[in-house]
Amino acid sequence: KKFTDINTALFGNDDLSWTQLDWIKAKSTHQLYLLDSAQSVKPADLPAEVTAALVQQARSANSFFRLVSQMRVAGGTDYIEFIGRIFAGTQQGPESFGNYELRFFDDIAEMRKEIFEKDKEVGLSRMIAGYAWPWASKNDPSEVDIQIGNLGLTWNRTATDWINSPTSLEEVGSIHTVQGYDLNYAGVIIGPDLGYDPVSKKIVFHRENYHDKKGKENNPRLGIEYTDEDLLNYVVNIYRVLLTRGIKGTFVFVCDPALREQLGQNFDPQL
């Protein structure tokens, strides 16, 4: 309703083509856009063709500038590109990234223990995961949300500034709590929403294990239904974001056995 009301107030009608980008243009004289399409994590984000057109317009006006470095991850651009190749299936074995601590775990409890140790040492160390389990504890705080082997974990109790909340170290944060935040160490759980097909040799999406309603919501307004391949791209982007939150290091645990074996080939347990 609010979307319709805003469109009508700004443009006099509720044309289905209007987006929040149009709102920005309507309410400002100059615009500066910082775009990273690899951080688009849900269907409600601006469509890729819209942002691509924006880039082309900027190029034509000689006002397009590519950012070639980032200031969060100590592993640098090499690490960012490594994560991209991991999910593209083009990475050929382990790499090292200087002092950046990248570790792959077969035991989720051991990874959690290490995150607690890092938090004692340097602070701002948290467990984060893809939205591959229902948020049962939202309505019943006694519920366990994430059960992996003998370890039961709960989702973030708050979505507002979760990282700095008093109970965050004991909890697991979702994409909605960490996008835009920095951590010193991130313990990333790649959940059963992703798997690996050894026949096609590709990462696959398991819709039944993806529990973000907004993350897989179709758009009846525009007559759009999202396929598993569409949603795979969004979920992979989520994990790219999660795996690039850690300034000093990233720890990784993969739930799906076939995917764990496949991705594990690109991590050196000694690093």
Residue 112 tokens, joined: 């959690």
The answer to whether the predicted template modeling score (pTM) of the entire model surpasses 0.85 is yes
CA distance 125 to 122: 8
CA distance 87 to 83: 7
The residues with which 246 forms a beta bridge, in sequence order, are 183
Q: Which of 67, 72, 89 is nearest to 250 (CA)?
A: 72
**Residue-wise pLDDT tens digits, 181-210:** 999 999 999 999 999 999 999 999 999 999
For residues 161-173, give the mean pLDDT: 96
Residue type for position 271: L
In 3-state terms, what secondary structure has residue 160? Answer: coil
Query: Could you tell me the residue ranges of all domains in the chain?
Result: 2-60, 76-264
**Residue-wise pLDDT tens digits, 141-155:** 899 999 999 999 999
Helices assigned H by DSSP within 89-172: 108-122
CA distance 270 to 247: 19
